Amino acid sequence: MKKIIVLALSAVVLLSGCEAYNNTNKAQRGAVIGAAGGALLGAILGNNVGSGNNSELGAVLGTVVGGAAGAVIGNQMDKQAKKIEEEIPGAEVKRVDDGIVVTFDENSGVYFDTAKHNINEKSRETLDKLVAILKEYPETNVVVAGHTDSQGKDAYNMGLSQRRAQAVTNYFTSKGLAASRFTTKWFGEQNPVADNNTAEGRAKNRRVNVVIVPNEKMKAEAQKQAGQ
């Protein structure tokens, strides 16, 4: 992976096979969503959902909350997603199941120099905005997942995606966010979201997904509020 990586934030999942991105308002559809879904995992991992490499991440993310409690959670996550869109206009924000996937590519404020994993000044400005939002919404957990394009050797790309994803996680925790909220994953070039044969596609594949999901406290409070 040369130059950059992308970053996205989001939330829950298990299987694979639902639509990849779903922007419908969760507060509207929370009452009918199933107990588990693959849309979020698809949003994080890209084209290779169901390849057998995703079970570990799926287990981390968990299951979708359904019924009235799901509607309560959806309303809260809708507000957080809107806040991210307002505060970080360059980021691509997707509401998927109970979570939020925010993708930062080389054109949206979080990027790395070629073969580097240190976070530069411009990227810090963007990440600081996200730090502030995560502090405002403390009842969420975050998965940081690193990816690369297919240029270079597989082993090198795997290590680079790890170093860059870990650098993002470390930056968050250095700003006072609890380490217990974060899970860091890396996939190298294994899960592209675009064609690695084009420069544009490779730029999209160089990414870090930051996935924001409700924690157990939020789920319990939503169930209580919903009377479940």
pLDDT of 123 reads: 87
| 180 vs 41: CA distance, rounded Å | 21
Determine phi and psi for 187, rounding to 5 degrees.
Answer: -135, 5
Residue carrying structure tokens 């870090």: 208
CATH number of the domain enclosing 199: 3.30.1330.60
- Nearest one of 66, 76, 67 to 14, comparing CA atoms: 66
User: Do 49 and 137 contact (CB within 8 A), yes or no?
Assistant: no
More confident position, 166 or 14: 166
When pLDDT is cut at 50, 70 and 90, the band that residue 173 belongs to is very high
Cα 13 to its chain centre, rounded Å, is 12
pLDDT in tens, 54-66: 666 776 676 677 7
2 SS3 class = coil
pLDDT of 15 reads: 23
11, part of any domain: no
pLDDT in tens, 78-125: 999 999 999 998 888 999 888 998 887 777 777 777 677 888 888 899
pLDDT in tens, 179-199: 999 999 999 999 888 899 998
18, part of any domain: no
pLDDT of 228 reads: 62
5, part of any domain: no
| 45 vs 192: CA distance, rounded Å | 7
15, part of any domain: no
- Nearest one of 86, 209, 88, 197 to 145, comparing CA atoms: 209
Phi-psi region at 31: left, alpha or beta (left = phi > 0; alpha = psi -120 to 50): alpha
User: Do 210 and 130 contact (CB within 8 A), yes or no?
Assistant: yes
Give this prediction's pTM. Answer: 0.79
Domain of 124 in residue numbering reads as 26-226
Which residue spans within the chain are E strands per DSSP?
A: 92-96, 99-104, 140-147, 182-186, 207-214
